[in-house]
Amino acid sequence: MADKDSPVFGQSVREKEFNLEKDWNFLNTGSYGVTPKCVQEAQQRHQFKMNSHPEKWFRREVEPLYKEATKEAADFVGCDSQDLVFVQNATTGINTVLKSYPYEKEDCILVTNATYGAIKKTCNHVGSNITDGKAIYIEFSIPIESEDQIVEKFKRAIAENPSIKIAVIDHITSPTAMILPVKKIAALCRENGILSMIDGAHAPGQLDLNIEELNVDFYTGNFHKWVFTPRGCAILYINRNHHDWVKPLVTSHNYQRGPYWEFEYQGTRDDTPYTVVPHALQFYKRMGGVSRVREYNSDLLDKGVEMLCSSFDLRRFPIPKSMEAPYMRLLILPKVPGYGTTEEDANRLFAYFAEKYNIVLLVVSVFDHLIIRLSAQIFNTMDDYNQIVDILKDLLKKDDEK
């Protein structure tokens, strides 16, 4: 329960804390995140400092701010700050690790068909550069009965492919918003001498993270999705066993000084998305922290999903409750008149909601269905979900009229 000093979520927090464009219904924070006014202002202050005295900023001011941000980020995700560096986004984090690894002939990378498109392409690209190597795919399909079913699929793939050297494992899958049992999968990898690279693109801020407890080799996660930083801010955890060989994609002045320094400076760039991490975490704390935000967002999504399913013929994505992402939920659409189930159809339907109704609602094509991925963030209310009921009803009934 919120106490009397807690901010009132919904429309009130939207107006007070965010610059979101009026007359728009934002139901897809999962894609690009949201940056509160106070964090935008902090970034502008840092950029102003950088511009008003570049030498002071780059030679003196940025480093302590960067170090403090590293420390606070490490505390937030549950690891030692010596093992954490900043990267622009989770895609960069995964590229960094996969492209640092010293592959030998026939080495393979393990990944799943539920992995984010950009990461599949990264695995294919890196795999194609290994002599006789490749990316090996685990195929998921719905319904998913249990976490153990997922672990079992990894077990089988590992047994069948002794040449796997590194596995990319989603903490929360992107289009399908499923929490995977990464701790169990990472343990399985470790038993089989396989490195675990966790793609937590959607995890920080959404899950209570304790990376050290997960006992993984690498973990990357965006802070700009659910931790309220500006875009271009993500963390990469590098287990201490690998500090000697994981290098940033850009070699620079601090080459061979260890992860913190090597990632900290890679030529002149704007590091303010990193330096304002403490401001973003402070905002998160002011909102009541992960537990209160999660309570609000999860409850809202539970109610929204229930309302939509009871209103007409929508199906929940068939996965165990324990695997549902707290801030993102999926609903399978029945056949939509005028739409097939391809990615193009999904994009067309996304555009329909945006252009006709000012609603940002992610529609994806998964497992031969059109699926809507609903997000909830503290500025959303039931009204936002109610708004789509009539539109969906209208879209679906068009067939009956013919």
Q: Which residues make up the interface to its own copies (CB under 8 A)? A: 19-21, 24, 26, 28, 31-35, 40, 43-44, 47-48, 50-58, 88-92, 95, 99, 117-118, 121-122, 124-126, 222, 224, 230-232, 247, 249-253, 255-256, 266-270, 273, 354, 360
Q: Which is nearer to its own copies, 37 or 156 (CB)?
A: 37
Cross-strand pairs, 296: none
Establish how many alpha carbons lie within 13 A of residue 99's alpha carbon, considering only the half-sphere containing its beta carbon: 14
Question: 295 Cβ partners below 8 Å, 6+ apart?
Answer: none
Q: Which is nearer to its own copies, 154 or 265 (CB)?
A: 265
Q: Minimum Å distance from CB 36 to its own copies?
A: 9
Beta-sheet pairing, 315-316 with 328-332: antiparallel
Pick the closer one to its own copies by CB: 53 or 397: 53
Cβ count near 127 (within 10 Å): 18
For the CB of residue 80, give the shortest distance to its own copies in the complex, in Å: 26
In the complex, least distance from residue 367 CB atom to its own copies, rounded to whole angstroms: 20
Least distance to its own copies, CB of residue 58, Å: 6
For the purposes of burial, counting CB atoms within 10 Å of the CB of 203, is it exposed (0-12), middle (13-18) or buried (19 or more)?
buried
Q: Closer to its own copies at the Cβ: 248 or 278?
A: 248
Nearer to its own copies, 118 or 314 (CB): 118
Residue 176 corresponds to which amino acid?
T
What is the rounded radius of gyration, in angstroms, for the C-alpha atoms of the chain? 22
Q: Is 231 helix (H, G, I), strand (E, B) or coil?
A: coil
Least distance in angstroms from the C-beta of 350 to its own copies: 9
Give me 176's structure tokens.
């399908």
Query: Residue 233 or 300: which CB sits closer to its own copies?
Result: 233
Closest to its own copies by CB, 94 or 186: 94
Minimum distance from residue 247 beta carbon to its own copies (Å): 7
- Spell out a b/e string for 2-12, using b for 16 or more CB atoms within 10 Å of the CB, else e: eeeeeeebbee
Q: Cβ 230 to its own copies, closest distance in Å?
A: 6
- Residue number with CB closer to its own copies (200 or 273): 273
Nearest-angstrom CA–CA distance, 216 and 222: 17
Alpha-helical regions (H) of 215-358: 259-264, 272-275, 277-286, 289-311, 343-357
Question: CA dihedral defined by 211, 214, 219, 222, rounded to 10 degrees?
Answer: -60
Task: Give the residue with the Cβ less far from its own copies, 165 or 202.
Answer: 202
Question: Are the CB atoms for 197 and 94 separated by under 8 Å?
Answer: yes
Nearer to its own copies (CB atom), residue 354 or residue 396: 354
Q: Which residues neighbour 109 within 8 Å (Cβ) at sequence distance 6 or greater?
A: 98, 123, 126, 127, 133, 134, 135, 136, 164, 165, 166, 167, 168
CB of 17 to its own copies, least distance (A): 12
- Measured from the CB atom, the residue of 26 and 154 that comes closer to its own copies is 26
Can you list the pairs that 246-249 forms with residues at least 24 positions away whose Cβ atoms lie under 8 Å? 246/96, 246/97, 246/100, 246/218, 247/96, 247/100, 248/85, 248/87, 248/96, 249/92, 249/95, 249/96, 249/99
Bond prior to 143 in cis (omega within 30° of 0): yes
Shortest Å distance, C-beta 239 to its own copies: 22
* Minimum separation from the CB atom of position 176 to its own copies (A): 17
Residue 38 has φ and ψ, to the nearest 5°, of -65, -30
What's the min distance (Å) between Cβ of 35 and its own copies? Answer: 5
